[in-house]
Amino acid sequence: MQGLTAALLVWTLMSPQGHGREAWPTHTACRDESLQILYQSCDPLQDFGFSVDQCPKQLKPNLNIRFGIILREGIEELFLDVALFSKGLSILNFSYPICEVDLPKFSFCGRRKGEQIYYAGPVNNPGFEIPEGEYQVLLELYNQDHSTVACANATILCF
């Protein structure tokens, strides 16, 4: 998985800006017997690399993830908005602060526009069991000025 993410990141770095109207390829963030997470960048300007080291149906409170991106914007502050849908119905929306001026949770907080981030490590998340089904997730990372840093739509398949 590590090699894959590194390869993806290199490829992201080499992709021309202003990719046009074509959709970005669908990536597999993780795949296990009972759980599969696929995602696609919905930022017209760039793709990014993301993977989860293990993909258990019973999500552990500490997941190890890998994330690589080139910053379109500085991230003195960074927030994540998540919208979860099942069969077209909105189930859950939440917003989560990742970098705050007084509470930078990660080493990459405060990085500037144009810099590259590669994070491999744990994230705190609520541990829970994902009920069987197919879910659509919209994710948006944005900074202190509400400028988009990354955007993705994902599909979660849980058997």
Given the rule CB under 6 A, which residues bind ligand NAG? 26, 38-40, 83, 90, 92-93, 153-155
CB of 41 to ligand NAG, least distance (A): 9
Nearer Cβ to ligand NAG, position 34 or 93?
Answer: 93
CA distance 57 to 93: 21
Give the SS3 label for residue 90: strand
- Measured over all CA atoms, what is the biggest interatomic distance in the chain, rounded to whole angstroms? 41
* Angstrom distances, CA of residue 13 to CA of 27, 45, 49, 101, 109: 16, 12, 10, 28, 20
CB of 140 to ligand NAG, least distance (A): 12
CB of 40 to ligand NAG, least distance (A): 4
* 19 φψ region: left (φ > 0), alpha (ψ -120 to 50), beta (else): alpha
CB of 42 to ligand NAG, least distance (A): 7
Nearer Cβ to ligand NAG, position 143 or 153?
Answer: 153
Q: How many C-alpha atoms does 79 have within 13 Å on its Cβ side?
A: 12
Cβ contacts of 137 within 8 Å, gap of 6 or more:
82, 83, 84, 85, 153, 154, 155, 156
Nearer Cβ to ligand NAG, position 42 or 65?
Answer: 42
CB of 92 to ligand NAG, least distance (A): 6
Nearer Cβ to ligand NAG, position 38 or 123?
Answer: 38
Nearer Cβ to ligand NAG, position 51 or 99?
Answer: 51
